[in-house]
Amino acid sequence: MSAFVDGDTRVVVQGITGGEGQFHAEQMIEYGTNVVAGAVPGKGGQDVAGVPVYDTVAGAVREEDADASVVFVPPAFAADALYEALGADLDLVVAITEGVPTQDMAGVKRRLGETDTALVGPNCPGVITPGEAKLGILPGNIFSEGRVGLVSRSGTLTYQIVDSMTQRGVGQTTAVGIGGDPVIGTSFVDALDRFEADPETEVVVMCGEIGGEDEERAARHVAGSIDTPVVGFVAGRTAPPGKRMGHAGAIVSGSGAGTAASKIEALENAGVPVGDTPEAVVETVSDLL
């Protein structure tokens, strides 16, 4: 069982004829991901990296039995690509695109609520089950098979903590970067539920950052519904109020909500140990296994 993807996941790459889409499709295939199709309007009938291209996601689902997509489509057209994917009854959609307008994503989020599809992203590195499949831009060589699930708003922080875990012999079941935009598909709560349902995941690492209240909501959820041990990290402890730090959602309002301190307090009150550094997180995880 896997929290999001496994070796049987059949993937369609939206935007596969573009430079980034083709490059990362080839990287996913090299990793072992079962990429069965591409989808680009008006490009049907082509072949990219040995993968047939269809005009629509629905065509890829119909002809290749695809059940997941990964989106490498420019920001101006990303919402249309996501609407198309949500209309194709896929199990999972992973949106890598950065810079999708918030208003566009608000509409996509409403549509998402009418489906059974899980959306990861946008503005995220994707999702990986080490040794089986990766959807997105994650560097597969730093991941290793193991018993720790990881969910993070930051791609770079994901890489840092995963690399530290791997160097210490601590492998991962699945790692998912949910993205740092104000409006995203999969939340911390959603990811925690998936890891809770995965019998192979024995510990979960949750990497948050300043801005919004997702970490506080996750803390309440851990306290009430999650039995799997969770270890936390919150980036942005020294960020000044009113300054956006990296992600569009990483900004602290003048009200004091969304600060690193408030998130750390909420997590610790829920029984979640929070590491001061990524290395401290890995040490805590090692002690729990």
Q: In this structure, are 57 and 147 located in the same domain?
A: no
Q: How many residues does the chain have?
A: 289
In the structure, what pLDDT confidence band is assigned to residue 259 with cuts at 50, 70 and 90? confident
* pLDDT the model gives residue 131: 97
Mean pLDDT of 88-117: 97
| CATH code of the domain in which 11 resides | 3.40.50.720
- Whether the CB-CB separation of 132 and 171 falls below 8 Å is answered with no
pTM for this model (two decimals): 0.93
Q: In this structure, are 174 and 69 located in the same domain?
A: no
| CATH code of the domain in which 209 resides | 3.40.50.261
In sequence order, the 6+-apart residues with CB closer than 8 A to the CB of 60 are 12, 36, 37, 38, 39, 54, 66, 88
Q: In this structure, are 197 and 233 located in the same domain?
A: yes
Determine whether 247 is an active site residue. yes
Q: In this structure, are 116 and 202 located in the same domain?
A: no
* pLDDT > 90 in the chain, percent: 86
Q: What are the tens digits of pLDDT across the range 41-73?
A: 999 999 999 999 999 999 999 999 999 999 999
Residue 205 sits in which domain range? 139-289
Mean pLDDT of 209-226: 93
In the structure, what pLDDT confidence band is assigned to residue 258 with cuts at 50, 70 and 90? confident
Q: Is residue 20 part of a domain?
A: yes
Q: Which of 247, 252, 260, 264 is catalytic?
A: 247
